[in-house]
Structure 1
Amino acid sequence: MKVYCPSCNKEVNATEMNITTSIAKCTGCNNVFNFSSQVPPSVATVERPRLAIQPKGCSITRGIDGLTIVRSWFSAQVIALTIFCLFWNGFMVAWFTIAFTKKIYIM
């Protein structure tokens, strides 16, 4: 696909074109022009990326110093896992206490 300057009909180099804005500059006559009418619509339009869906438990705050993303981690699942971990660690303490008092060092 070639783009030509509307003033002097000279072919415009690809380095002198901005695809996102469809603006080109002719090196022959220094004419700046919109070349979207010279290309098919599917090529001239740029699809913008879709925004991602924000996950549950996340909040985004825009401030003067930038973007702050906060994720809240506390939930009922954390309580259940904490109870399980305390039970499991208590079991392991009892297990190793029995093993060391009976002098069974290889398990």
Structure 2
Amino acid sequence: MNQTLRCPKCEQGIAPADINIHLLIAKCQACGNVFNFEQQYSAPGTALQQIPKERAEISMPPGIEGYQLMNELNLRLTWRNRIHGFLAFFTVAWNLFLIPFILMIMASGDLEMLLFLSLHLLVGGSLIYWHIACLLNKTTLQITPQYILIEHGPIPVPFMRTQQISATAIRQLYVEEYVAGHTNGNPFYRFALKIRLASGQREQLLKNLRNADEGLYVEQQIERFLKIEDMAERGEIA
């Protein structure tokens, strides 16, 4: 039986043209209210449903390890393929440029001169730190029916915090492509794995993935483990 979607604010019916079944949002022309209607039509078999995707099986890409227990899925991603060739070259060149100046200052004994190089040393040290982290670090995902725990290590990196997300709140996972930076004026792209929660909020699980298959494989494995049907999402890669 068909059901009419109604605005929770003014109770007016919503025209089909004002309904986005992929994002589960709608706009009421009567009062202008934009709302998420997932809670109204969350039961299987109702008229308003997202469209399932058909995607070929994604094999485990290089750089990912995983194993599954009865009530737990574990995935581990190496950071080594996050190293960008130009940035690695720039890091080596930058620090080689600084070495003669550092040696001259050390030989002169006037260590206060290092203060004039402090900004350059900070940049060089930060770049070295990042590349060491990329060589040694791994991202670990522990997925259970209750939660997803994401940890990065062993070397701590700013803005890469430990996350724990309720698994029961996740409605969909999807992969997006984004511009990570520019080399000689040309953009280079990376991929991010994101989730949509029951509240409609979107969060990022993984970023800086060098190829799409890394994100798609993790998405595929988590959706299978948590029994989440793969649906189309706005902005995701095909």
TM-score for both structures, normalised by structure 2: 0.21
Please identify which structure carries the higher strand content.
2
Q: Which has the higher contact order (CA 8 A, sep 6+)?
A: 2
TM-score for both structures, normalised by structure 1: 0.44
